[in-house]
Amino acid sequence: MSDKKKVLMLHGFVQSDKIFSAKTGGLRKHLKKLGYDLYYPCAPHSIDKKALFQSEAEKGIDAAKEFNTSATTDEVYGWFLRKPDYFNSFEINQSVFDYLNNYVLENGPFDGVIGFSQGAGLGGYLVTDFNRILSLTEEQQPALKFFISFSGFKLEDKVYQKSYDKAIQIPSLHVRGELDAVVAESRIMALYESWPKDKRTLLIHPGAHFVPNSKPFVSQVCNWIQGTINKDDEEQDVRLETEQEQFEKPQLDDDLLDMIDSLGKL
């Protein structure tokens, strides 16, 4: 098993691994300095950008601008597709989970998951029970240390709700753009509120639907990761010390009890 620190990067709808890698250059550079390698899988569903906006109300919408993708390529993908006639209803095909299972086995294990838009929606669902959903053992994928959502949303379909109902233990950072017109604030906050209060952090930037790459903002994200990892390490050290004390104390008590019992028999 590799000692490298790795992050699973899940791109947005109408993007690709290459596009998301290009859009997160600043973040990748800073995380590289912290010892993290970023891995970008590409969603299996090919998307026809030209067929996205065909209704009279939607004509003229620029897909590249709408989804923060690339205007120079038609090779774009999605993790899942919207159900016909339902705006916020999605069905994730088993092939997506199978693909990510193989990707983790071939490239992981991973320390964290970072997603944007649809990729963050998928990531937020996955980290509710990562190993169960992707059929991975603890040896194949130890517990994740963090999750970061850029414009991510909670999946609303009934079939996914049980996973959100239990207390999620993976620390999360939820990033929202004040001018984001693609994913409504209420949907972003629904994902944020799925986490216990002590396991979630909200960060707001003044822009729209994208992953900010400015140095000050990226520094905030990296500081959060470091603070989260260090906090977990400190809590683990405290637990180990407490367990050691509890282990030693009963031994002393047992010795004293044995002495008392032996005295009573003299």
The whole-number pLDDT of residue 81 equals 85
pLDDT at 37 over 70: yes
Say which residue, 254 or 212, is predicted with more confidence.
212
Cα-to-chain-centroid distance, residue 91: 19
Q: Which residues are catalytic?
A: 117, 180, 209
Please give the Cα distance from 119 to 52 (Å, whole number). Answer: 18
Average pLDDT over residues 216-243: 75
Could you read off the pLDDT of 47-95 as tens digits, one per residue? 986 655 443 333 444 444 555 555 456 689 999 987 766 667 788 999 9
The whole-number pLDDT of residue 10 equals 98
Provide Rg for the chain, Cα atoms.
23
The whole-number pLDDT of residue 251 equals 38
Please give the Cα distance from 122 to 151 (Å, whole number). Answer: 12
How many CB atoms within 10 Å of residue 103?
17
pLDDT at 220 over 80: yes
Average pLDDT over residues 26-37: 96
In degrees and rounded to multiples of 5, residue 10 shows phi and psi of: -105, 115
Could you read off the pLDDT of 9-26 as tens digits, one per residue? 999 999 999 999 999 999
Residue with tokens 């972003």: 188
5-237: CATH homologous superfamily?
Alpha/Beta hydrolase fold, catalytic domain (3.40.50.1820)
Could you read off the pLDDT of 100-157 as tens digits, one per residue? 999 999 999 999 999 999 999 999 999 999 999 999 999 999 999 999 999 999 999 8
Q: Where are the domains of the chain?
A: 5-237
- What does 43-76 look like in DSSP terms, one character per residue? -SEEE-GGGT--STTTTT--HHHHHT--SS-S-E
| Prediction pTM value | 0.81
